[in-house]
Amino acid sequence: MGECGAPGDVNSNVLVARSTGDAQLDKAVWQWLSWDKNQKTKEQIESLLQNGKHKELRDRLCCRLTFGTAGLRSAMGAGFCYINDLTVIQSTQGIYKYLERCFSDFKQRGFVVGYDTRGQVTSNCSSKKLAKLTAAVLLAKDVPVYFFSTYAPTPFVPYAVQQLKAVAGVMITASHNRKEDNGYKVYWENGAQITSPHDKEIIKCIEECVEPWNGSWNENLVDTSPLRQDPLKKICDCYMEDLKKICYHRELNMQTNLKFVHTSFHGVGHDYVQLAFKAFGFQPPIPVPEQKDPDPDFSTVKCPNPEEGESVLELSLRLAEKENAKVVVATDPDADRLAVAEQQENGCWKVFTGNELAALFGWWMFSCWKENCSEDADVKNVYMLATTVSSKILRAIALKEGFHFEVSVGFMISSWQINQCNSMPACFSTTNSLFLGFMCGTSVLDKDGVSAAVVIAEMATYLESKNLTLAQKLIEIYETYGYHISKTSYFLCYDPPTIKRMFEKLRNFDGPQSYPSFCGIYNILHVRDVTTGYDSSQPNKKSVSCKTLVFTKPLTWYCSLSSDRTVLEEELQKLIEALIENFLEPDKNGLIWRSA
């Protein structure tokens, strides 16, 4: 969103009396107080104004949300750079304007809206309310809206966009983020997250219509408009039926004595993971009772992020020990990510990293394809995808087995890659990021923790029938395709100018427009900056991937090496220490270490 527009119809005498002395800030305050109909967030701005908190007002009102790799995401609260009723209305108005331009049949095909269970009492803000306002903007403009009647997993929205042939969809969620946050995730007609240039064009459209339209605040339209349909049952039934296409050992699943524990981290996943296990022929996984039901406060964990490992899996692991369950699966609050833990022979638990799970998924999906493909099937028609920041174990498997491997930026998968995959008779995609996101098959073109949970359960069941564990199979995979070790972690930084300064330094390291050629004692072979589109490994120095931010808040490092594990682990740790000392400089930049 850009500069503020003209003031709305408000009592100018009151506003003049409260003038901040800053014309731009005054205009932003006028806009907020005239446009916001949420009493809680309106009072937050009024209180700051009355108490002379001009810096905080400026921080809240003089910068605006922009699309990142996860759509719009920020803390809930008052202000144009926060997630709240008004900014969601503005964003949806911009999306309406852009989609009306792109699709002549927009009002025939419709739009999908889903939401998770987040909420904040102090701002009278919840995912469901934000979803209702999203729907209201579109319904008021005579656009059919497929609005889920209750909370649903994030992957259901892109799946619904494809199944219902809608032009686009929005999921209100902040996924694994802290409880204070919420977000607005946009999917295109192909069921994939929006990429450039759509994101930039939508921002332009938002800038052109920031004042709420008549009807945009009427959240009751969801309950009264004949243009609203509830897709929940149809989408859930179709999803579970499609899931059976990647079930290869139903008989084993039905007979196994292996038990599983599932935690949904106070989110949406419980009901849907139960149904997925049923679709594969399993007995239902044992739920963690304290974490089974939605709770926007995430009261039993410091952070609802499965990447934090054993510290956030404590309740799951203790329940698994009590129930003699050998495998724990954890979906994050919107059920698009997965964590897995397995009890080892010595009684300890191994929590798999995202890259380790990627290796297991890659081996499994390809092995299942080989066992079930027709005699004339061509391995060159098999594709696997991985994100920029993932281990390249899938590339190693692809090189040895002969199938295609592609890299994409996050899960913002390009239309070319999607079309290539969907045109193939046998395409199994798996991908992984820092936060344990996987995609098995092509029914859902986004991270999907529900399908990943049941696929890993079938994998564990099959391996148990061969007297193997997941951890033992992982070692076999490394022995076959080469050891790939990696470490991923992050720092927190809540000051955008600091983040900007750090990246500007990296882009002008040894002079203007000069990237670093060394990191401590380590020589840098190539630099790829997908934000600016620069890639030193390409002949034209241009990145082949779409522009996006690989490093965002929280600041994250990704280090990976492949070869002999015992030789490389020490070297990898030294490399990470050099990267932190030379590039991130946490003490100088006031960065906060990740803490589980």
What CATH number corresponds to the domain at position 173? Answer: 3.40.120.10
Same domain membership, residue 454 and residue 342: yes
C-alpha atoms less than 13 angstroms from C-alpha of 6 in its C-beta half-sphere: 2
Decide if 127 is catalytic.
no
Round the average pLDDT of the chain to a whole number and report it. Answer: 86
Same domain membership, residue 224 and residue 252: no
Phi, psi dihedral angles at 528 (to 5 degrees) = -125, 120
- Rounded Cα distance between 312 and 315, Å, is 8
Q: Outline where DSSP puts E strands in 518-585.
A: 518-519, 522-523, 528-529, 534-535, 555-563
**By the 8 A CB rule, do 433 and 488 touch?**
no
* Nearest-10 crossing angle of helices 85-102, 127-139: 40
Which of 63-72, 446-455, 464-473 shows the lowest per-residue confidence on average (mean pLDDT)?
Answer: 63-72
Between the alpha carbon of residue 569 and those of residues 349, 489, 492, 532, 572, the distances in Å are 21, 16, 25, 32, 5
The model's pLDDT over 500-559, given as tens digits with 9 standing for 90+, comes to 899 999 999 989 989 999 899 988 888 888 778 788 877 887 765 443 333 223 444 455
The model's pLDDT over 451-508, given as tens digits with 9 standing for 90+, comes to 999 999 999 999 999 999 999 999 999 989 888 877 777 888 878 789 889 999 999 9
Stretch 435-456: mean pLDDT, rounded? 75
Residue 314 lies in a domain: yes
**By the 8 A CB rule, do 339 and 313 touch?**
yes
Whether cis (ω within 30° of 0) applies to the bond prior to 554 is yes
For CA atoms 152, 157, 162, 164, the dihedral sign is positive
Residue-level length of the chain? 596
The model's pLDDT over 190-239, given as tens digits with 9 standing for 90+, comes to 888 888 789 889 999 999 999 999 999 999 999 999 999 999 999 999 99
Same domain membership, residue 403 and residue 264: yes
For the entire predicted model, the pTM comes to: 0.86
- Spatial neighbors of 322 by CB under 8 A, at least 6 apart, are none
- Rounded Cα distance between 105 and 220, Å, is 25
Residue 563 has pLDDT above 70, yes or no: no
Residue 410 lies in a domain: yes
The helix/strand/coil state of 534 is strand
Same domain membership, residue 209 and residue 109: yes
Same domain membership, residue 306 and residue 224: no
**By the 8 A CB rule, do 159 and 335 touch?**
no
- Spatial neighbors of 586 by CB under 8 A, at least 6 apart, are 491, 580, 593
Residue 8 lies in a domain: no
Residue 325 lies in a domain: yes
Same domain membership, residue 156 and residue 291: no
Per-residue tokens: 500: 């900007």
Same domain membership, residue 137 and residue 105: yes
Residue 353 lies in a domain: yes
In the chain, what percentage of residues exceed pLDDT 70?
85
For CA atoms 514, 519, 522, 524, the dihedral sign is negative
Question: Looking at 126, 175, 391, 486, which residue is catalytic?
Answer: 175
Rg (CA), the chain: 24
- Rounded Cα distance between 272 and 240, Å, is 9
Terminal CA-to-CA distance of the chain, rounded, Å? 34
Residue 4 lies in a domain: no
- Print burial letters for 408-429: b (CB count within 10 Å at least 16), e (below 16): bbbbbbbeebbebbeebebbbb
- Rounded Cα distance between 77 and 95, Å, is 22
Same domain membership, residue 291 and residue 276: yes
**208 forms bridges with which residues in the sheet?**
none
Residue of 439, 271, 283, 247 whose CA lies nearest to 357: 439
Q: What is the predicted pLDDT for the residue at 408?
A: 63
Q: What is the predicted pLDDT for the residue at 595?
A: 54
- The total domain count for the chain is 3
- Rounded Cα distance between 545 and 324, Å, is 46
Choose the final residue of a domain: 453, 481, 509: 481
Choose the final residue of a domain: 481, 513, 539: 481
Residue 37 lies in a domain: yes
Choose the final residue of a domain: 178, 199, 231: 231
Tokens 């849907």 sit on residue: 272
Whether cis (ω within 30° of 0) applies to the bond prior to 425 is no
Same domain membership, residue 185 and residue 77: yes
Helix (H) or strand (E) holding 321: helix 314-323
Stretch 176-181: mean pLDDT, rounded? 92
Residue 309 has pLDDT above 70, yes or no: yes
What is the span of the domain harbouring residue 571?
487-593
Same domain membership, residue 349 and residue 279: yes
Same domain membership, residue 465 and residue 334: yes
Residue 526 lies in a domain: yes
Same domain membership, residue 305 and residue 223: no
Residue 428 has pLDDT above 50, yes or no: no
